């Protein structure tokens, strides 16, 4: 932490704030991120561990690497681990409990240095409290740090962005079941709308393979003389927002002229691509940097401070071509 | 191979054809893929190797996991390795030669069981001929098998699909430099057009950060009374096709009514998503299955047959909403 502070020319407190998701002025944040990236240093304790032939493999468990959000996260975590001399073992678990156990077991028996997990299974009972582990998004237990985006405030920001564009009839688009982060996002959206007397409705597709048929039917039923009854759409994922967008196009509804859409994640198909779908964006690179930092801290044998167990990172609005 | 043939109820010859990319009837192909997936068996020699504590890590080197094609490929390769008891070490090399060397060195010193690489660097001199290695797309050396999609025939298929829709003025969209598979795709497209007297033009953006400005200017220059001069577009990547599509939308050109577009890869943002951009598609899951099979064959100590060094897999056309 001292090295980072010194190279960045900021206080140790600012670095501590950064690592624990507390706010810093943007220019300070940039300096810290730059310093962490530039240092590429292997901390003393970690260097010792490597010398004593402890494994330098870190397991990364996630449902699947095959979505834009997850593949971008995987990219940054692997790069960040690499900066510190660690290699990533990738596990697409498909949320398969049995498979996740095997990887956790590898960590328990010290075959790997640690685990970064984005698992949705309840694996808390399986994990020895002595291993190094960081959980992204889901709070697994009081023994390990959790890194999560501030989904509630992010969803409020989405509703606010529609509101300040003067839109009057907002539609929340999602799919059942609404749980975990979806629930938090829905709550943030509803709270903002209620507090600001903003009219909203919801279309929640059934949990079935051809769920977008529900959206298609809903759009057909709410077209009056070719005009869609809603003028603003917010979804808790880019996926549903993007499905809905393309269905509106099919029904000749003009986006963003007649209907404006805000999704969640601002995923890009290609790294260099401009964002097409306006959306609330998670700070993916920051999640990666902080997750790796908190993992290495444990590997180095530092105790986890109780008030730093949950790191909640602010989200931002990225404007694409689906809002005016 | 016998186990696969027996479970699939097909001849050993058919399995051999499949593994070496030679054609089989589609129903036979499906049976073989199903059998390979269902078997999940650890071949005898591999089981022996695992017992003798040889590492069960396989390195997968690719430029970046953060594009739809690469993340889907990574997903299937990891799942397929997992079926055979192997773990994937992921390396996003960003085509960094130095970093690739480190992973190749791990393989040379037997710290990992093998390497699957999609590297664009020339790493042939670094690799000991005794390690197990499979190269995807690029033919590295005569010592190792290459798995590649049949890009030339795929590009011809793209031109043919535009042709049979009665389109007359075709535009090839890409970016400089045109090399490797891009060159093969461009050649296939041009050959088809020339052989069939199909008029075509090309827009090749400069190799710069804001290259899509070139597309934007080109569109503006070729709009006559709001109508775009070309009625068919083919690109050697989804990326440029998709950039072009969105720019046409911005200029109020109707896709697919006035201009039809075919890209390359048919990438989906989400696994469940219907394909939006009509495109030529690589058989990604098949590439993964065959790459892993050919790697395990080497790990098992089987010699690589000289006439099976290059496996060229057929591509197909996936219809999205950008063609009629």
Judging contacts by C-beta atoms under 8 Å, the chain B residues touching residue A269 are 67-68, 238-239, 242, 267, 269
Q: Which residues of chain B have pLDDT under 50?
A: 41-53
Is B65's CB within 8 Å of A88's CB? no
Burial of A319 (0-12, 13-18, 19+ CB in 10 A): middle
Assigned domain for A206 exists: yes
Write the CATH number for B234.
Answer: 3.40.50.2300
Is residue B294 a part of any domain in this protein? Answer: no
* H-assigned helices in B165-237: 180-195, 212-221
Would residue A288 count as lying in a domain? no
Confidence band for A270, pLDDT divided at 50, 70 and 90: low
Subunit contact B75:A82, Cβ cutoff 8 A: no
Q: What percent of chain A has pLDDT over 90?
A: 53
Structural domain tally of chain A?
2
Q: According to the model, what pLDDT value does residue B19 have?
A: 72
- A63, A121 Cβ separation under 8 angstroms: no
The per-residue pLDDT for A6 is 87
Q: Is A19's pLDDT higher than 50?
A: yes
If pLDDT is split at 50, 70 and 90, which confidence band does A273 have?
A: low
What is the spatial distance between Cα B276 and Cα B271, in angstroms, rounded to a whole number? 12
Which chain A residue lies closest to B250 (C-alpha atoms)?
A: A321
Closest chain A C-alpha to B124 CA, distance in angstroms = 23
The Cα–Cα gap between A14 and A25 comes to 9
**Residue A95: inside a domain, yes or no?**
no
Would residue B5 count as lying in a domain?
yes
Instruction: Give the residue on B whose Cα is nearest the Cα of A64.
Output: B75
- pLDDT tens, position by position, A155-180: 999 999 999 999 999 999 999 999 88
SS3 readout for chain A: CHHHHHHHCCCHHHHHHHHCCCCCCHHHHHHHHHHHHHHCCCCHHHHHHHHCCCCCEEEEEECCCCCHHHHHHHHHHHHHHHHCCCEEEEEECCCCHHHHHHHHHHHHCCCCCEEEECCCCCCHHHCCCCCCEEEECCCCCCCCCEEEECHHHHHHHHHHHHHCCCCCEEEEEEECCCCHHHHHHHHHHHHHHHHCCCEEEEEEECCCCCCHHHHHHHHHHCEECCEECCCEEEECCHHHHHHHHHHHHHCCCCCCCCCEEEEECCCCCCCCCCCCCCEEECCHHHHHHHHHHHHHHHHCCCCCCHHHCEEEECCEEECCCCCC
Q: Percent of chain A having pLDDT more than 70?
A: 90
Residues A93, A39: Cα–Cα separation, whole Å: 33
Give the Cα separation of B100 and B80 in Å (integer).
23
- Domain interval for residue B254: 151-281
Residue A110 pLDDT > 60, yes or no? Answer: yes
The interface pTM score, or ipTM, of the predicted complex is 0.77
pLDDT for B61: 92
Q: Are A72 and B91 in contact (CB < 8 Å)?
A: no
d(CA A149, CA A158): 14
Handedness of CA A212, A215, A217, A223 (dihedral sign): negative
Name every chain B residue with its beta carbon within 8 A of the beta carbon of A274. 212
- Alpha-carbon radius of gyration of chain A: 21
Instruction: Determine contact, residues A274/B215, Cβ cutoff 8 Å.
Output: no
Residue B59: which H helix or E strand, with range? strand B57-62
Please tell me which residue of chain A has the smallest CA distance to B255. Answer: A249
Tell whether A89 is covered by a domain: no
Establish if B224 belongs to a structural domain: yes
Retrieve residue A146's tokens: 């959790």
CA A171 – CA A232 distance, rounded (Å): 6
Q: Is the peptide bond before B256 cis (omega within 30 degrees of 0)?
A: yes
Q: pLDDT: is A220 or B21 the higher one?
A: A220
Rounded to a whole number of angstroms, the distance from the CA of B88 to the nearest CA of chain A is 6
Distance between CA B236 and CA B211 in Å, rounded? 16
Q: Pick the residue from chain A with its C-alpha nearest to B245.
A: A276
Q: Which residue of A has its CA nearest to B274?
A: A243
How high is the mean pLDDT of chain A? 87
**Statement: residue A201 has pLDDT above 70:** yes
In a domain, B322, yes or no: no
| Candidate from A207-211, A247-251, A268-272, B76-80 with smallest mean pLDDT | A268-272
Alpha-carbon span A3 to A39, nearest angstrom? 8
Instruction: Report the alpha-carbon distance of residue A159 to residue A115 in Å, rounded.
Output: 36
Q: How many Å from the N-terminal Cα to the C-terminal Cα in chain A? A: 43
- What is the torsion angle, in degrees rounded to the nearest 10, for the CA atoms of residue A213, residue A218, residue A224 and residue A229? -130
Interface test mutation site (partner A, options B66, B252, B256, max chain A beta carbons within 10 A): B66
- A52-56, A66-70, B165-169: which is most confident: B165-169
Contacting B with CB below 8 Å, chain A residues are 57, 64-68, 70-72, 74-75, 78-79, 82, 87-92, 99, 209, 212, 238-239, 242-243, 246, 250, 267, 269-274, 276, 321
pLDDT at A269: 63
pLDDT at A128: 80
């Amino acid at each position: 932490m001292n090295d980072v502070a010194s190279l960045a020319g900021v206080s140790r407190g600012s670095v501590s704030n950064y690592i624990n998701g507390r706010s810093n002025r943007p220019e300070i944040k940039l300096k810290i991120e730059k310093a962490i990236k530039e240092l590429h240093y292997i901390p003393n304790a970690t260097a010792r561990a490597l010398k004593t032939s402890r494994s330098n493999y870190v397991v990364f468990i996630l449902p699947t690497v095959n979505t834009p959000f997850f593949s971008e996260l995987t990219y940054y975590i692997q790069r960040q681990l690499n900066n510190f001399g660690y290699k990533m073992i990738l596990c697409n678990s498909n949320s398969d409990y049995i498979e996740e156990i095997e990887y956790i077991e590898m960590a328990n028996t010290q075959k790997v240095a640690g685990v970064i997990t984005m698992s949705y299974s309840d694996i808390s009972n399986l994990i020895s409290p002595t291993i190094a582990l960081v959980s992204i998004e889901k709070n697994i237990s009081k023994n390990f740090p959790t890194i999560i985006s501030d989904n509630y405030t992010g969803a409020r920001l989405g509703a606010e962005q529609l509101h300040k564009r003067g839109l009057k009839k907002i539609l929340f688009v999602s799919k059942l079941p609404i749980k975990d982060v979806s629930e938090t996002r829905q709550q943030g959206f509803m709270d903002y709308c209620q507090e600001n007397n903003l009219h909203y409705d919801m279309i929640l597709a059934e949990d079935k393979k051809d769920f977008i048929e529900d959206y298609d039917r809903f759009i057909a039923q709410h077209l009056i003389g070719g005009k869609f009854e809603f003028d603003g759409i917010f979804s808790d994922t880019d996926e549903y927002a993007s499905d809905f967008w393309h269905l509106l196009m099919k029904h000749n509804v003009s986006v963003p002229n007649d209907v404006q859409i805000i999704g969640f994640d601002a995923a890009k198909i290609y790294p260099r691509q401009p964002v097409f779908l306006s959306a609330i964006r998670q700070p993916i690179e920051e999640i990666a940097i902080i997750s790796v930092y908190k993992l290495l801290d444990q590997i180095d044998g530092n105790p986890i401070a109780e008030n730093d167990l949950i790191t909640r990172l602010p989200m931002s609005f990225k404007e694409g071509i689906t809002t005016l």
